[in-house]
Amino acid sequence: MTTTSLRAAADSELTGLAAWAVDLMETLGAPGAGLAIALENLFPPLPSEVILPLAGFTASRGSFGLVEVLAWTTAGSVVGALALYLVGALLGRARTRALVKAVPLVDVADVDRTEAWFDRHGRKAVLLGRMIPIFRSLVSIPAGVTRMPVAWFLGLTTLGSVIWNTVFVLAGYLLGENWHVVEPWADGLQVVVIAAVVLAVAVFVGKRVVRIREHRRRVSRGEEAPGGI
């Protein structure tokens, strides 16, 4: 099947990243889907929620096998996640603290608390994070910063990626030319995640501003020494 025929069968209005993903899969086959997913980890604007159902749809038309595309997309997920893990490992704790000091309203103590939390719950975070939009990529960086054992990171990343990829690839495979009905559900999940992040940031900033103002009032009344809060 040619790129043109696949694109016409999938959606005559495919453009941008989705059209690029189709071209990649038609040129390279299942490895092209794996490459697209590896890049999606590094550049989150690439939509895995579109690439994976498209890969499943392409498999349903016989361009490549279902097991083959699941293997390649999972390999792509692991490679992309490992690249971000290495970024976190190279960044390290010292550089992370240096960067945090330059961010308004954020204290180095916040980094310590985050690292302590990740030390306790990092395995669950890596596993479940692979199935949450946005965090699918980001969770690999703190894993690298805290130097989670590579074997554990790879195992959990692989398991989480298998689950996520299988759901979307199978959806595209079973829905056939209706593969695109998956996208609104994925978009809805992403909106929920973004809203939760925005709310969490707003609560954090609000609490920090109140804390800073209270500290300044105490300093002005001589009840507390100047300095960190």
What lies within 8 Å, CB to CB, of 87 at 6+ separation is: 140, 141, 144
Residue 224 lies in a domain: no
Question: Residue 225 pLDDT > 80, yes or no?
Answer: no
Average confidence (pLDDT) over 203-209:
60
Residue 88 lies in a domain: yes
- Mean residue pLDDT of the chain comes to 75
- Could you give the residue ranges of the DSSP H alpha helices within the chain? 3-10, 16-28, 30-42, 48-60, 66-101, 108-129, 135-138, 140-145, 150-175, 182-220
Q: How would you class 101 by CB atoms within 10 Å of its CB: exposed for 0-12, middle for 13-18, buried for 19 or more? A: exposed
Question: Which band of pLDDT confidence, cut at 50, 70 and 90, is reported for residue 152?
Answer: very high
d(CA 79, CA 43) in angstroms, rounded, equals 13
Residue 203 lies in a domain: no
Average confidence (pLDDT) over 65-91:
91
What are the tens digits of pLDDT across the range 26-63? Answer: 788 889 889 988 888 777 666 677 788 888 888 887 77
> What pLDDT, on the 0 to 100 scale, is given for residue 166?
92
- Total structural domains within the chain: 1
Tell me if 44 sits within 8 A of 141, measured CB to CB: no
Residue 114 lies in a domain: yes
Question: Residue 158 pLDDT > 70, yes or no?
Answer: yes
Q: Which range has the worst mean pLDDT, 11-20, 85-94, 151-160?
A: 11-20
How would you write 170-191 as a 3-class SS string?
HHHHHHHHHHHHHHHHHHHHHH
Question: Residue 173 pLDDT > 70, yes or no?
Answer: yes
Residue 41 lies in a domain: yes
> What pLDDT, on the 0 to 100 scale, is given for residue 62?
79
Question: Which band of pLDDT confidence, cut at 50, 70 and 90, is reported for residue 190?
Answer: low
Residue 89 lies in a domain: yes
Residue 187 lies in a domain: no
The boundaries of the domain holding residue 160 are: 3-181
pTM over cut 0.85? no
d(CA 94, CA 91) in angstroms, rounded, equals 8
Residue 212 lies in a domain: no
Instruction: Classify residue 176 as left (phi > 0), alpha (psi -120 to 50) or beta.
Output: left
Question: Residue 12 pLDDT > 50, yes or no?
Answer: no
Q: In the Cβ-directed half-sphere of 208, how many Cα atoms lie within 13 Å?
A: 14
Tell me if 41 sits within 8 A of 86, measured CB to CB: no
Question: Residue 174 pLDDT > 80, yes or no?
Answer: yes
